[in-house]
Chains A and B, each alone.
Chain A
Amino acid sequence: MINLLLFPILIPLLFAAILLFFPKNISLQRIISAAAAVATLISVLFLLLKVKADGVQAVTLGSWDAPFGITMVSDMLSVLLVLSATIITLFVIFYSMPTIGIDREKSFYYPAVLFLLVGVNGAFTTGDIFNLFVFFEVLLMASYMLIVHGGEKPQLRESIKYLLVNVISSALFVAAVAFLYSVTGTLNMADLAVKIPQIEETGILTVIAVMFLVVFGFKAAIFPLYFWLPGAYHAPPIPVLALFGALLTKVGVYAIIRTYTLFFTMNIAFTHELLGIIAILTILAGCIGALAYFDVKKIIIYNIIIAVGVILFGIAQMNEAGIEGALFYLVHDMLIKAALFFLVGIVAVIFGTSNLREMGGLMKTYPVLGWVYLIAAFGLAGIPPLSGFPGKLLIVQGGFEGPQFWGSIVVLATSLLVLLSAIRIFIYAFWGEPVKIVPLKKRSYYQMFVPAVILVGITVILGVGAELFMPLINGAGEVLLNPSIYIDAVLKE
């Protein structure tokens, strides 16, 4: 089955197209969208086994030879990210059913979620820089629709800003691709990785590398370019927020990882040191925001920015420990952010507000919710048996081995601030004097709680069974450190 790696893109695309025909039939919409996510998940699991057994998979569309046609490439990194994205989308669909509201469900909500999955999976799998742009636009277009869906006033206001920022960054992406094409004359990523080291004048390539950092930094919310994220992510409802927080910034992070390990390696002393410094500044900016707000959604939103900084700091070290740590942390962070948004969403619904100061005493009425939240918060901060620990340990180790040892100290110190910001939600919402709450129906409570618990359970397994998952992470890191494996798989013979 040579086309196996296209299935995670084609299955949601097909089902989303089918769903467009009967928007008013909600039960059918729910069943088919859940079935689509399950089918995608199964195909990704097969793909994972295939990549683990046979190494990097590559398909050239239309049987045109590699540099001339579009190549889709699935290495261990992209298949792991596609797997996490699909798991999260599946749980977001389940979580949406009780929370998103009938009106939204009737107006193409589930097709938009599936189209977002198409864009994300495509961006993780593509092997062509312009095709990456197209998949970015697919996922951005779906995200524009989801962020404004429902048309409340804050949504309208924030989606204008979100759209404007992304239009600008897309235009810059096109300009950066144009420059890269004029220097190298190719768009295929593997071919770029061959051609770029042959170019002796590295000045222009360094400029293009920084331009790509700006473009993907807009998507990934790195330090000076994160200004749009807190407002934009605060506007949409919780399931959409979980989807965005878990997937969208991580696509930008993946694009930075891919470009900075595969082809922009000609001037590491400048580009990767710049990346490391920006990553540290991103962590600090995120910490300031996470501590400053008394709003449960804003606190977790700023934790997205912190995690982006931690992952990019690991990548900037360009040694084995740093990169493997960053990949582990990337997978962990996608899952834990979705789980935290789910839990915080339940808390916000129960209190009828997201303001921490108006909360209190939930431990007496919802003890299980409290303990699950506590486990998720410890996982976020990286307490040893949980999933945040192995990734951060390797990132810190990579930092001490590299030239930016002071960055590792910042990563360690800010872990305390992350823990503080997450525990503050626990202290305010679950301890203290009980306040008046909106009692939640048993049925819809369990519909919201079960997806969250399963996601937290997956992160616990990921942390406790880290030894089981390390071979996969090793395989992904090996391809990033030796681009020749990737190049040989694409330009074979």
Chain B
Amino acid sequence: MEIIMSFVIGFLFMAAVYLMLSKSLIRIIIGTGLLSHGAHLLILTMGGLGGTAPPVVADGVSVSDYADPLPQALILTAIVISFAVTSFFLVLAYRAYQELGTDNMNLMRGTEDND
């Protein structure tokens, strides 16, 4: 199972890198979304996919049956952080589109004379 997940995560990272290297700003933001999905799935996978019961204390479940709760807490933290950053990034892209009139990263270069 971990092997399959590794391939999926690798594909997500590949797609993210491809999108982030493109010219259009919105494709770049979609790429960052895929990158954080890949990173979150990576934590889940690296914590080990063993365990059949969710990490909630219940009767009749032995300790070895629980899934590892720590990676889940880490993912939850990382998800809200990437939510906040992504929403900031989207608003920033919107403002930049209004002010600069382009979403093409090649046209956003700017030089010392041309601010």
Contacts and interface: CB of A to CB of B under 8 A. Distances in A.
Interface of A: 130, 133-134, 137, 141, 144, 148, 151, 153-154, 156-160, 163-164, 167-168, 170-172, 174-175, 177-179, 181-182, 187, 295
B29 to A, nearest CB: 9
Contact of A163 (B20, B42, B48, B88): B88
Nearest to A156: B96
Interface of B: 20, 25, 28, 32, 35-36, 38-40, 42-43, 45-48, 70-71, 74, 77-78, 81-82, 84-85, 88-89, 92-93, 95-96, 99-100, 108, 110, 112, 115
B46 A178 contact: yes
A144 to B, nearest CB: 6
A148 B39 CA distance: 27
Contact of B39 (A160, A174, A181, A182): A174
A160 B109 CA distance: 11
Contacts of A170: 81-82, 85
Nearest to B97: A156
A175 B39 contact: yes
Given A153-B115, A174-B78, A178-B46, A141 B99 contact: no
13 contacts: A137-B81, A148-B92, A153-B99, A157-B108, A159-B92, A160-B92, A163-B85, A167-B32, A167-B36, A170-B85, A171-B36, A178-B42, A178-B43
B108 A177 contact: no
A52 B93 CA distance: 48
Contacts of B28: 164
Given A151-B95, A156-B95, 10 more contacts: A130-B74, A133-B78, A134-B81, A156-B99, A164-B20, A171-B32, A175-B42, A178-B42, A178-B45, A181-B70
Q: Is the interface of A mostly helix, strand, loop or mixed?
A: helix
A237 B69 CA distance: 45
A159 B74 CA distance: 28
A63 to B, nearest CB: 19
Q: Is the interface of B mostly helix, strand, loop or mixed?
A: helix
Nearest to A172: B39
A167 B85 contact: yes
A488 B32 CA distance: 40
B109 to A, nearest CB: 8
A133 B40 CA distance: 14
B25 A160 contact: yes
Contacts of A144: 85, 88, 92
Contact of A141 (B32, B84, B96): B84
Given A144-B88, A163-B85, A174 B20 contact: no
Contacts of B32: 164, 167-168, 171
A490 B13 CA distance: 37
Given A134-B81, A151-B99, A174-B43, A168 B92 contact: no
A174 B40 contact: yes
A133 B42 CA distance: 16
B89 A163 contact: yes
A65 B62 CA distance: 23
Contacts of B20: 164, 168
Nearest to B89: A163
Contacts of A175: 38-39, 42
A172 B20 CA distance: 14
Contacts of B42: 174-175, 178
B35 A167 contact: yes
Most B C-beta atoms less than 10 A away, residue of A153, A167, A187, A295: A167
Instruction: State the 8 A-B residue pairs at the shortest beta-carbon distance, nearest first.
Output: A182-B46, A178-B46, A174-B39, A178-B43, A156-B96, A171-B39, A154-B115, A171-B35
A420 to B, nearest CB: 21
A149 to B, nearest CB: 12
Contacts of A167: 32, 35-36, 82, 85, 89
Given A175-B39, A181-B71, A157 B85 contact: no
A90 B95 CA distance: 31
Contacts of A295: 112
Nearest to B33: A167
Nearest to A154: B115
Nearest to B40: A174
B115 to A, nearest CB: 5
A65 to B, nearest CB: 15
Contacts of B93: 160
B35 A168 contact: yes
